């Protein structure tokens, strides 16, 4: 993937979910500048983020360097990926961003009712018109991804990018999605490399955050073994003289099936350890030590005795 000006897209990307929420416009601008200084030119947003403020702020920040950055947004977060929803949300997203073209449009969530053919047919005219340069899927299974690719190719375009959740305590993507992506040439840009902040160790310190404030995150990261893994990662970080967030992000990036993780934050100070992962050289030995902190997912056939 390349920007409009032909620059290569950075492996690491920045997720703007906090823009207009826990990060006001000034702090959002500071994080954007820190990312650009670190070499990130790939920015991820969505119609659903902060009631549209995320897209609006990102659009203003991109400003005159639009050709040099790569913008991804998403439609159909409510698990309803009909033509009506995709048309309405993508039209609104472009207005908020102040852009006629986005580099990457994801279908945000699988729709258990609407056929993939219908959802992809809704995207097709935008690809043909040049309003969407690349198409992606977020939160979709491996089988649905391959089905979608076949449908898209029959319509004259392709699926290029996948966005699953993936971190040290959420490793299901290792079973089928990441091997499939490596085999079939998908770029995988996982979200939540810090596990909702769990892997930074802040909850062990008594600090607040999404796992305390948001019921969705509280349910997602509720198991005691996850908190134990976070303590182990923090102990390892202390041993190495680095930050647990740096290790968590670098561990995700180290997986051969991952193109690059999406990092985020609500301030430059909070973001800095994740940015430090960009240049972190993780050895095979360290990768194995971190991986051993959590259970390795079973193989796709569940024959654990052969793993």
Residues with a known catalytic role = 49
Distance CA 109, CA 119 (A): 11
- Going by C-alpha positions, the residue among 98, 6, 81 that lies closest to residue 45 is 98
Distance CA 22, CA 28 (A): 9
Distance CA 201, CA 194 (A): 10
Q: What are phi and psi of 135, to 5 degrees?
A: -120, 140
Distance CA 230, CA 199 (A): 5
Please report, to the nearest 10 degrees, the dihedral formed by the alpha carbons of residues 47, 260, 212, 292 taken in order.
Answer: 150
Check if the beta carbon of residue 255 is closer than 8 Å to that of residue 190: no
According to DSSP, the β-strands at 42-44 and 102-107 are unpaired
Distance CA 7, CA 41 (A): 9
């Amino acid at each position: 993937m390349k920007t409009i000006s032909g620059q290569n897209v950075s492996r690491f990307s920045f997720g703007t979910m906090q823009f207009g929420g826990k990060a006001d416009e000034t702090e959002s601008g500071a994080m954007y500048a820190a990312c650009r200084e670190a070499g990130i030119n790939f920015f991820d947003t969505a119609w659903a983020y902060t009631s549209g403020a995320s897209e609006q702020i990102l659009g203003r920040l991109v400003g005159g360097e639009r050709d040099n950055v790569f913008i991804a947004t998403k439609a159909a977060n409510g698990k309803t990926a009909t033509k009506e929803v995709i048309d309405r949300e993508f039209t609104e997203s472009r207005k908020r961003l102040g852009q006629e073209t986005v580099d990457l449009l994801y279908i945000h969530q699988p729709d258990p009712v609407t056929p993939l053919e219908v959802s992809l047919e809704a995207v097709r005219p935008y690809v043909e018109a040049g309003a969407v340069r690349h198409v992606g899927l977020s939160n979709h299974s491996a089988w649905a991804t391959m089905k979608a690719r076949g449908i898209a190719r029959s319509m004259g375009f392709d699926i290029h990018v996948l966005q699953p959740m993936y971190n040290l305590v959420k490793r299901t993507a290792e079973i089928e999605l990441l091997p499939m992506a490596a085999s079939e040439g998908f770029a995988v840009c996982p979200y939540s490399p810090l596990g909702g902040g769990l892997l930074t160790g802040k909850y062990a310190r008594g600090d607040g955050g999404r796992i305390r404030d948001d019921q969705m995150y509280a349910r997602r990261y509720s198991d005691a073994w996850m908190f134990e893994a976070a303590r182990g990662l923090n102990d390892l970080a202390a041993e190495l003289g680095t930050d647990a967030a740096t290790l968590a992000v670098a561990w995700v990036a180290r997986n051969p099936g991952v193109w690059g993780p999406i990092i985020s934050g609500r301030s430059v100070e909070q973001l800095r350890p994740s940015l430090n992962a960009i240049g972190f050289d993780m050895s095979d030995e360290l990768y194995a030590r971190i991986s051993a902190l959590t259970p390795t997912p079973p193989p796709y056939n569940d024959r654990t005795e052969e793993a």
